[in-house]
Amino acid sequence: MPVLVYIESENKMFKKAALEVASYGRAVANTLNTSLSAVVFNNEDCSQLADYGVDKVLTVNHSNGFNAKVYADIIAQAALKESANVIVLSSSADSRYLAPILAVGLKAGYVPNVVELPKTQPFSVKRTAFSNKAFCETEITTEVKIIGVSNNAFGLIEHTTSLQSEPFSPKITSSDISVEKVDKATDKVSIADAETVVSAGRGLKGPENWNMIEELADVLGAATACSKPVSDLGWRPHSEHVGQTGKPVASNLYIAIGISGAIQHLAGINSSKVKVVINTDPEAPFFKAADYGIVGDAFEVVPELIEKLKTFKAQNS
Amino acid sequence: MKILVCISHVPDTTSKINFTNDNTAFDPNGVQFVINPNDEFGLTRAMWFKEKENASVDVVNVGGPETESTLRKALAIGADAAFRINTTPTDGYAVAKELSKVAKDGNYDLIIAGRESIDYNGGMVPGMMAAELGASFVNNCISLEIDGTNATAIREIDGGKETLSSTLPLVIGGQKGLVEESDLKIPNMRGIMMARKKPLMVLEPAQQQTCTSSVKFEKPAPKGAIKMVDADNIDELIDLLHNEAKVI
């Protein structure tokens, strides 16, 4: 009974989170002494999956775009076809959308926000809880198990396989929801997909000062984010608000500029691996939660950081 | 239109989290409980439908008697009636099953839940309810308009948003954006007095079918000391991020 992973692509490129899911799925398959199957939508060239441990891929052509119910149903059919009883998904908005529907369909236990490989006998996984203020070891007691892996928690692990590809034509269920419009900035890295996030708070004094934040993000190939007060004041869109009631961030590098570090903000970004804080106030709580800190004026530090990073990037590319 | 808002009773966002019984259970001592923030955005949107379109709004929670203060707050904000399903919530599926029964029995047109509770962060209850009920489902919902039996919703996607159309009955996983932070209502004295007279019905749980169980909790390891870099020495920061942290 192989492990099954749902591999997401965007513009026919596999998402980094999807390759992480493949890496994680491979490790689970090794633990359970089984093989790894994948289900891929609308992407014929799956050769890259051979580098991340996938043994067999089921390719589905579904031209109508993402629909949580339809996709959940197709993944359920793939799981039945493969007799998979461990299914691994990412933490993307789409995966989180479809996972509960898939879980009900397969009568499976679903645990999201998983940060480590499962233990077996009994089968349990470690996940974050209380908005990153704690971890919870969670046992999955059903026969079929669904794991949602946290972004950047497991990383990419190369493992070469001789990949087999097979077209899969599932029964398509009718949908009760239709997409009218998609607004998506194609030139920007999303917070969910970003390896680096540059975030700023009220210390920036006003929305007109965000150019340097965007420029710093640009140099680092990072996504931009903001604190709750900044989004409440309307300086930046809600979609940039990170923290307990905003978006969670699990990037490799998180740079906080002019953010004091309220407990709700820290809870939302705590899964990020390396945290840098730049703040004029040496007493700001963020200094207790960060790895590197600079006490200084953002208006002086950030422009200098941008220039020096440009030089660094030029020398190291 | 009949609306059901599912309310989770959660520690306030500023709470320090502790565990008890050899780290097998959450310790509620000294913790202030609130309406789950994602649910409160949904409840506030429901109030808008009540005021503008004469919808009826009921609230429901799965929990013991100690959670009634949270339901009373929802009544004080303006909900018409409350249900408490008298059992300690175990896993997301069990909660979704209990809530689905109330939703089905009450024949609701619109079921609003938060996209996730800020305690267990499962984010699965609204989707599982929709699957149980055979209703349409929009997750991460940041805008919702209803016209007769048609709904137009916007959901947040990674790096953007998507506009969806659907019909009722509909389940949404709501979040900030459904209403603004400044739209949230603080109950006034009249609301609080009226809430005391509104019905709060206690229902016994139908069944306890679980798929997962929380075995043990732990807190993150204490953070190592921060390395401070002088504001005049940005080169050192770049060097540390490159050679020590290896993130650039």
Domain residues for B153? 2-215
How many structural domains comprise chain B?
Answer: 1
pLDDT score for A64: 84
Q: Rounded distance, CA A169 to CA A35, Å?
A: 22
pLDDT score for B207: 76
Task: Using CB atoms, pick whichever of A189, A270, A290 lies closest to residue B226.
Answer: A290
Beta strands, E only, B168-230:
170-174, 200-203, 212-218, 227-228
A149, A24 Cβ separation under 8 angstroms: yes
What is A196-315's CATH number, 3.30.2270.10, 3.40.50.720, 3.40.50.1220, 3.20.20.150? 3.40.50.1220
pLDDT score for A261: 96
B223 in a domain, yes or no?
Answer: no
B236 in a domain, yes or no?
Answer: no
Q: Which residues of A touch B248 (CB under 8 A)?
A: 196, 220, 253, 309, 312
CB contact under 8 A, B123 and A132: no
CB contact under 8 A, A101 and B242: no
CA nearest to A97 within chain B: B139
Cα–Cα distances (Å) from A40 to A1, A54, A108, A205, in that order, read 19, 11, 21, 46
pLDDT score for B224: 87
Distance in Å, alpha carbon of B82 to nearest chain A alpha carbon = 25
Residues 37-76 of B with CB under 8 A from A: 37-38
Task: Using CB atoms, pick whichever of A92, A134, A246 lies closest to residue B219.
Answer: A134
CATH number at residue B33: 3.40.50.620
Q: Rounded distance, CA A222 to CA B53, Å?
A: 44
B237 in a domain, yes or no?
Answer: no
Any idea what DSSP says for residue A238?
Answer: G
CA nearest to A292 within chain B: B227
Mind listing the pLDDT tens digit of every residue in chain B (248 residues)? 999 999 999 999 999 999 999 999 999 999 999 999 999 999 999 999 999 999 999 999 999 999 999 999 999 999 999 999 999 999 999 999 999 999 999 999 999 999 999 999 999 999 999 999 999 999 999 999 999 999 999 999 999 999 999 999 999 999 999 999 899 999 999 999 999 999 999 999 987 789 999 999 999 988 889 999 999 999 999 999 999 999 99
B189 in a domain, yes or no?
Answer: yes
* Identical fold, A3-167 and A196-315: yes
A185, A126 Cβ separation under 8 angstroms: no
Q: Tokens representing B104? A: 């089905």
B246 in a domain, yes or no?
Answer: no
A6, A73 Cβ separation under 8 angstroms: no
A160-202 pLDDT, tens digit per residue, is: 999 999 999 999 988 889 999 999 887 788 998 899 999 999 9
pLDDT score for A175: 86
The whole-model pTM stands at: 0.96
- Which architecture does CATH list for A3-167? 3-Layer(aba) Sandwich (3.40)
CB contact under 8 A, A140 and B220: no
B231 in a domain, yes or no?
Answer: no
pLDDT score for A255: 98
What crossing angle do the helices spanning B37-53 and B68-77 adopt, rounded to 10°? 30
Question: How many A/B residue pairs have CB atoms within 8 Å?
Answer: 262
Would you list the domain boundaries of chain A? Answer: 3-167, 196-315
* DSSP assignments along A34-102, one per residue: --EEEEEES----GGGGGBT--EEEEE--TT---HHHHHHHHHHHHHHHT--EEEE-SSHHHHHHHHHH
B147, B112 Cβ separation under 8 angstroms: no
CB contact under 8 A, A142 and B211: yes
| CA–centroid distance for A161 within its chain | 25
Q: Rounded distance, CA A158 to CA A36, Å?
A: 14
Q: Which residues of A touch B17 (CB under 8 A)?
A: 130, 133-134
B49 in a domain, yes or no?
Answer: yes
Asked if B195 is an interface residue toward chain A (Cβ–Cβ < 8 A), one would say no
A191-217 pLDDT, tens digit per residue, is: 988 999 999 999 999 999 999 999 999
B157 in a domain, yes or no?
Answer: yes
Which amino acid does the sequence have at A62?
H
**φ and ψ at residue B67, rounded to 5 degrees:** -90, 0
Mind listing the pLDDT tens digit of every residue in chain A (317 residues)? 999 999 999 989 999 999 999 999 999 999 999 999 999 999 989 999 999 999 999 999 998 889 999 999 999 999 999 999 999 999 999 999 999 999 999 999 999 999 999 999 999 999 999 999 999 999 999 999 999 999 989 999 999 999 999 999 999 988 889 999 999 887 788 998 899 999 999 999 999 999 999 999 999 999 999 999 999 999 999 999 999 889 999 999 999 999 999 999 999 999 899 999 999 999 999 999 999 999 999 999 999 999 999 999 999 87
